[in-house]
A and B are shown apart, each in its own frame.
Chain A
Amino acid sequence: MSPWADLQERFAGALRCPERPPPVGCNGPDGLPDVKRFDVYRNNVLAGLIDALAQSYPVVRRLLGAECFEETARRFVAGHLPRSPVLLEYGQEFAAFLDRFEPLAALAYLPDVARIERAWLEAYHAADAPPLNPGALARIPAERAADVCLTLHPSVRLVRSRCAALTIWRLNVTDGPVTGPEPIALDASAQDALLARPEAEVDVIALAPGAAEFIAALASGRTLGDATECARNAHEPFDLTEHLTALLGGGWITSAHLKRRRTRGP
């Protein structure tokens, strides 16, 4: 390892662990090792990253309370220094971290709430794309309708949860009260959420059963016929008309093309 790479490695290591002394060669203006200055720097890195997480995950923070969130974030930061200079991308692994974070394991819905917040942020910053004019699909002959492939808007994100994460997110995304005098009992049934920003605002939609399979299939390039089959395998009945109307009307489809038919042998 080159001396420079070695210094970087030790510098990053010392950033992660407050107990570690500054790396050798990290000196103050007097040329001597300066623990206090390095501590200020290390603290700033932590403070900045914890703040960035708090900005990206306001609902998780509200659910946990400021102190608990800060400590959780601090432990996350210690193991996840940024890999991109774009701070907005920081914290992508937070939900997966929460999955394995034993002290908060009882809050089974917490990782999925974090996933919704990450999806919201990604949708918010995703590229623009003009929606497909539904009229363009009128030209497709009926016998080829099942071969249509639809391209989803670049901002479309799907979050599937076995808990009521979407309801919990909705209740906490504003500053209002989440409950009356009595604790609220939330149904723990699975919830699927679609997030997308076809225009200026992020839409957050609760999906009907089968819709997540349908949209995931479309996203992976499957045809309308295949995607419908995926949805019906997951949940019967599945209202294709309703979902197509919502997808096209919502501006969540940007283009369509016909899949070439495979030529089958006799």
Chain B
Amino acid sequence: MSTRTASLAVASALATAVTALAAPLATAGGMSMSGSMMMKQREHTMAELHTGKFVRCFGVALAGHNDCYAGPGTTCAGTASRNYQGNAFKLVPTGTCTAITTPYVTIVHGHGSLSKITEAGR
């Protein structure tokens, strides 16, 4: 593609995008969104914001991040001297990964066995 043709293609794409977005909300449903990239419930979020029921709370930390760990000795969990220092924990995954199979790895549920990564099928 020549530089000129390429830049015309960019201009055309930009113009189409701008026109589509300038039209009323209905275009969101009518836009060509064949790919997996799409607008995601933006109207819904905005509507919630505008009802006033949904309060923007930027800067509010997730649970745990606001806690002051400078002095967790004040909580009963923090008074133990060694509970996180032992080495008795298991490194065998027992969570949901045991139910996931990919061509890279198979973990047999209930066994917790970790097979080596294989590149088979790649």
Q: Which residues of A are at the interface with B, using a C-beta cutoff of 8 A?
A: 18, 36, 39-52, 54-56, 61-72, 74, 87-88, 103-110, 121, 124-125, 128, 134-135, 137-138, 140, 142-143, 145-146, 148, 163-164, 168, 171-172, 178-179, 183-188, 194, 198-201, 203, 205-208, 211, 224-225, 228-229, 239-246, 248-251
Choose among B12, B20, B73 the residue that contacts A44 (Cβ–Cβ < 8 A). Answer: B73
A/B pair count, beta carbons within 8 Å: 273
Q: A108-B105, A125-B61, A134-B22 are in contact. List 6 more A-B contacts (CB 8 A).
A: A65-B95, A71-B89, A71-B91, A248-B21, A249-B28, A249-B39
Q: Which residues of B are at the interface with A, using a C-beta cutoff of 8 A?
A: 6-18, 20-22, 28, 31-40, 42, 45-46, 48-49, 54, 56-59, 61-65, 67, 69, 71-73, 77-85, 89-97, 99-107, 109, 114-117, 121-122
**A61 and B7 form a contact (CB under 8 A):** no
Query: Given A48-B69, A172-B96, A205-B38, are A68 and B91 neighbors across the interface (CB < 8 Å)?
Result: yes
**A70 and B93 form a contact (CB under 8 A):** no
- List residues of chain B with CB within 8 A of the CB of A55: 62-65
Docked pose: A199 CA to B42 CA in angstroms: 8
- List residues of chain B with CB within 8 A of the CB of A49: 69
Docked pose: A121 CA to B62 CA in angstroms: 9
CB distance from A120 to the nearest CB of B (A): 10
For B65, give the chain A residue with the smallest CB separation: A88
Docked pose: A164 CA to B104 CA in angstroms: 10
Docked pose: A203 CA to B42 CA in angstroms: 9
- List residues of chain A with CB within 8 A of the CB of B109: 183
